Structure 1
Amino acid sequence: MGTAAGVDAGAAPALVETIQAIEEGDVLVVNGDTRTWDVTDVVERSIEDPTDDRESKRVLRLNARSAVFGLELVSYPDHHEASLHALESPDWTEDGRVFDVDDVEVLTQRVPWVVVSGGPAAKYHFPDPQAAAYGEAAPACGAGNQGSTYRITRCNAVVPAYSGCKDCLRHAKPVGLQPVQCPDCGKHICQGILQGEQVAAVDGFSITCPQCEFDGTVEVAFEN
C-alpha cells in the first residue's frame, strides 16, 4: 500500500493533475497496490478559516470489496499534498492509518467489452462479439478458463458492456482500435480491441486486401 504519511514536501504536478481530473465512477490503482478501487463519491471543499494554511481539499471515496478508503488532495498556497486514509478495512493493521500517495493510475474503461454469461456466477469477457458468437474467441479472463472457447446458444446471453472487468482493465490494458481499411480500395479490414502491455508501441498492421490484393503496411489509430 505504501508508507504511513509523514512530512510531505508536496505532491508531484503530474499526480496532482491526475487526482484533480478523477470523477465518480472511475476505476483506480493507488501506489501499485493489488486492490482496484471504484470511485463512489467526490467531494470538494474550500477552507476559509484564516488560521488554516489549507486553501481547499478534494476527497475521493474509494471502495474495493469490503475496504473503504479516502484519497485526499489538499491545496496549500505553494504546494499540494496527497494522502490515502483507511476508513474501513478487513485488515485491522490498516484501520485508521494514513498513507503517502506516490502514484495513481486511472484505468481506461471506455472499450466495447462483450460480457458472455455462462450461468449464475460465470461471466467471460470477449474482445469481439462476432468471434464470441461463433465460438472462435477465448475469454480475456474467465476464472482460469482462458484455454477454453465458448459458443453462444441464446442471443440474449451476449450483452455489450462498457465497465469491463477490473482484472482485465488492469492487466490486459485493452485499447479500442479504429476501423482499418485498405488504402487502395477502401475495403474494411478489421476493428476491435488490442490487449497487452506493448499495445502503445503498435503503429501499423501488415495486411493483404482480399478485394484488390494490396499487400503492405497500413497505419493504425486507437480510440480515445
Structure 2
Amino acid sequence: MAVTDSVDAGVGPALVETIQDIEAGDLLVVNGDTRTWDVTDVVERAIEDPTDDRESKRVLRLNSRSAVFGLELVRYPDHHEVSLYALESPDWTEDGRAFDVDDVEVLDQRVPWVVVSGGKAEKYHFPDPQAAAYGEAAPACGAGNQGSTYRITRCNAVVPAYSGCKDCLRHAKPVTLQAVRCPDCRKHICQGVLQRVEAAAIDGLSITCPQCGFDSIVDAELAGEFADID
C-alpha cells in the first residue's frame, strides 16, 4: 500500500458509494492486500465546526488478526477523501501511518448452499464444486478440520450462528449463473453458482443441447447477489 501524508482528494463516486454501504459485520479487502478485514464498528459523525471545511466523516474500524486499522471517508462540499490509518499493527513500519485507498472490495458472505462439518463448528465453507458434482461435501478452500465429515446445507440454516471461512470468501468469489436455455428449443441447460471466476471475463458459455443438438456459444448472465437465499 502506498503511504501518504495528505490523502488524495476527489476519489471516484463508485468507491464512495461502496464505503457508504458498508456495515458492521462485513468483510473487506482493501487495495488488494493479502489481509481480510472484519468491520467491527461503524461511526458516522457530522462536523459542525464553521472553521472546518469537512462536512461529515464515516469511519470503519477494521480488524485482521492482531492488526487494527481505520478506514475513513470524509465529505467536503465538492468532493470526498478516503484514507486508511494503521491504529495497531504488528509491523512497526505500518504503525501510525496513513495510506492511499484505491479500491475496497466487500466479500459476499452468502451463497444458497454452504458446507459445514458434522460436529460442532463455528464457521461455514463454500462448497467445492468438483466434490459437489459427485454428491460429496468438501470446503472450497481445501482446508477445514482434519478428519471431520462435512454436509451441505442451506446458508440461512447456519447464519448468523456461523461465520464464513475467510479463505473461501476471499478466493471463491461466487457469482450466480442465471438459467441457461437452448436458443433453438428453449430446453433448460443449467444454472447455479460459479466460483473463482472474474465475471467480467466471461462473455458466454459453450453448450450442446441434448434435445435439439444445438452446439454453439450462448450469452451468460451473471450476477453478484443471490435472490434465492431466504
CA contact (8 A) 2:204 2:218 kept: yes
Q: Specify the alignment match of 2:160 in structure 1.
A: none
Instruction: Compute the displacement of 1:113 (Å).
Output: 4.5
Take 1:151 and 1:219, find their aligned partners in 2: how far apart are those partners? 38
Q: For the residues of structure 1 that align with 2:125 and 2:27, how far apart are their CA atoms?
A: 20
Instruction: Give the secondary structure class of the aligned counterpart of 1:125.
Output: coil
Distance 1:129 1:164 in 2: 20
1: distance between equivalents of 2:18 and 2:46? 19
Distance 1:132 1:67 in 2: 39
Query: Which residue number in structure 2 is paired with residue 158 of structure 1?
Result: 152
Which is further off, 70-79 or 210-219?
210-219
**Match in the other structure for 1:192:** 192
Q: Any idea what SS the aligned residue of 2:114 has?
A: strand
Q: Name 2:127's counterpart in structure 1.
A: 126
- Using the alignment, how far apart are the partners of 2:125 and 2:70 within structure 1? 31
Q: In the superposition, relative to structure 1, how do residues 73 and 198 fare at CA in structure 2: closer, same or farther (>3 Å)?
A: closer
Corresponding position of 2:227: none
C-alpha distance in structure 1 between counterparts of 2:192 and 2:44, whole Å: 38
Structure 1 match to 2:103: 103
Which stretch of structure 1 is more off in the superposition, 176-185 or 57-66? Answer: 176-185
Distance in structure 2 (CA, Å) of the matches to 1:219 and 1:102: 32
Q: Indicate the percent of aligned positions where both proteins have the same amino acid.
A: 71
Name the stretch that deviates more: 76-85 or 122-131.
122-131
Does the alignment pair 1:77 with 2:71?
no
Query: 2:18 corresponds to which residue?
Result: 18
Q: TM-score normalized by structure 2? A: 0.75
TM-score, normalisation: structure 1: 0.76
Q: Are the aligned partners of 1:123 and 1:142 in contact in 2 as well (CA < 8 Å)? A: no
The one-letter code of the counterpart of 2:71 is L
Q: CA deviation at 1:161?
A: 3.0
Q: Deviations over 1:70-102 (max 9, x none)?
A: 111112223322111223333344333333323
Superposition CA RMSD, Å: 3.3
* Pairwise CA distance, 1:116: 3.7
The code of the aligned residue for 2:91 comes to D
SS in 2 for 1:91: coil
Q: Which deviates more, 177-186 or 120-129? A: 120-129
Cα offset, 1:103, TM superposition: 2.4
Are positions 1:223 and 2:223 aligned together?
yes
User: Unaligned stretches of 5+ in structure 1?
Assistant: none
Partner AA of 2:9 in structure 1? G
TM-fit CA distance, 1:164: 4.9
State the aligned residue count: 214
Whether contact under 8 Å (2:115, 2:138) holds in the other structure is no
Deviations 1:5-44 (A, max 9, x none): 3123404224333322323333211122211112222221
